[in-house]
Amino acid sequence: MSALKKSANITIAAALAEAEERYRRENPKSLRLYEEALRVMPGGNTRTSIHVDPFPLAIERGEGAHLFDADGHEYTDFLSEFTAGLYGHSHPRIRAAILEGLERGLNLGARGALEAKFAAALCARFPSLERVRFTNSGTEANLMAVSAARAITGREKILVFSGGYHGGVFYFRGGHNKINAPFDFLLGRYNDLEAVEALVAPHRDNLAAILVEPMLGSGGSIPGERDFLAGLRALANAAGAILIFDEVMTSRLAPGGLQEALGILPDLTTLGKYLGGGMSFGAFGGRADLMDRFDPRRPDALQHAGTFNNNVLTMSAGLAGLTEIYTPERARALNAFGEDLRASLNESVRQAAVPMQFTGRGSMLSVHMTARPIRSAEDAAKGHKGLKDLFYFDLLGRGIWFAKRGFFALSLALDEEDGERLREAVEEFAETRAPLFAEAQEAA
């Protein structure tokens, strides 16, 4: 893959066009496979978040912290399946757990031997969980939690936040998504408690739930300030609403998730991603009085079904991963590694004197092409998109794999040498593309 070229006397648009042309030239097999997929899938795609213009790369296999594409290129994986790939690719204990599950049969149509053990491990790990139920994804977990809140409270309004992502039908980056679940949403500004309180005031008696990520994940790795999240806890209490923490991504950021790290307990928590050990997984749980509304022995029980909720492979891989691999000690170590890496990257761009920064917490981080403080999705949107796209293509050319929107998630398979490789790639980008930052600042 090509080294970066010095960008003196070139515009951002021209540099980006050059980078995209290099991308096309170096990935002919991925392009061919994409064109074949277009014949049978809309956009050649079944998952919008992994589409990339001008076309996505076709990844053929993963091993440890590395990915290999159809054109023979190798990448260090700093995306880790958008936080779900915490264990890296083909972790030997996860592989063994899946094989153990296969020995038991795939879908038993009954209670299995492991689901109560897995549920007990989750309840022991996350402070707000007194009871828990399983789903197939984080999207389903949020759908069930929000639906339960509406049913239990008899209210309709759901407070969410700009930049929030709670799954395919709860997408609030750039406002409301037309195919969101048809609930009555109030869209607040993240980390702005005063504005949120004013927004909610006319609707307090009809507020069923507050659904919030303790750190915006897909929205730019923007940590929720403790006073803001504590304020939401108080607001839910005062309004008689149910506070839901979406920890589908952020549960990895401390042994007991951000709720433990911040000392703020929600009424319900939603989980997913890595907790299935790489298998499809979601969960929602919380206070016993709320979750017991799903007890099928009750005459007024809320219904919750799902053919694959307790599938054998997920129960086996998830239990092994949480109890044997991602122990509290490993969680602390991985997130300390992430804190050090993010600090190092920010020091590199500071030394290069370019308006660029990395936000996040622990093992999740995002890049932004602005030096201004970022507390909300609106702040993040002020970064220069062209430079972020160029950053993606330049680092991809250096063998660094991450999301084009600028998102990184660390896995247990990465080591200090991998972190140094990322830091060197960022330094080269900042040095080589420095003249373009001046153009971006003039345009702003």
pLDDT tens digits for 188-203?
Answer: 999 999 999 999 999 9
C-alpha 22/C-alpha 9 separation (Å) is 19
| H/E run at residue 316 | helix 312-320
Average pLDDT estimate for 332-351: 98
Q: So what's the pLDDT on residue 163?
A: 96
Q: Please, are residues 310 and 175 in contact by the beta-carbon 8 Å criterion?
A: no
Whole-prediction pTM: 0.96
Catalytic residue among 69, 77, 192, 246: 246
C-alpha 343/C-alpha 421 separation (Å) is 15
Catalytic residue among 34, 75, 165, 392: 165
Q: Please, are residues 240 and 256 in contact by the beta-carbon 8 Å criterion?
A: no
Residue-wise pLDDT for 131-141, tens only, equals 999 999 999 99
| Active site (annotated) includes residue 165 | yes
Domains of the chain: 12-77+329-443 (3.90.1150.10), 92-325 (3.40.640.10)
| Active site (annotated) includes residue 273 | yes
Average pLDDT estimate for 322-329: 98
Whether residue 2 is predicted with pLDDT greater than 50 in this model: the reply is: no
Q: Please, are residues 264 and 226 in contact by the beta-carbon 8 Å criterion?
A: yes
**Residue at token pair 């050649």:** 44
Q: So what's the pLDDT on residue 444?
A: 57
Q: Which amino acid is at 111?
A: R
Could you tell me where the beta strands, DSSP code E, fall in 136-267?
A: 157-161, 184-188, 207-212, 215-216, 222-223, 242-246
| H/E run at residue 125 | helix 115-125
Q: So what's the pLDDT on residue 13?
A: 95
Catalytic residue among 157, 273, 388, 404: 273
Considering only CA atoms, which of 99, 64, 101 is closest in space to residue 85? Answer: 64
Q: Please, are residues 197 and 212 in contact by the beta-carbon 8 Å criterion?
A: no
Average pLDDT estimate for 2-10: 56
Q: Please, are residues 261 and 228 in contact by the beta-carbon 8 Å criterion?
A: no
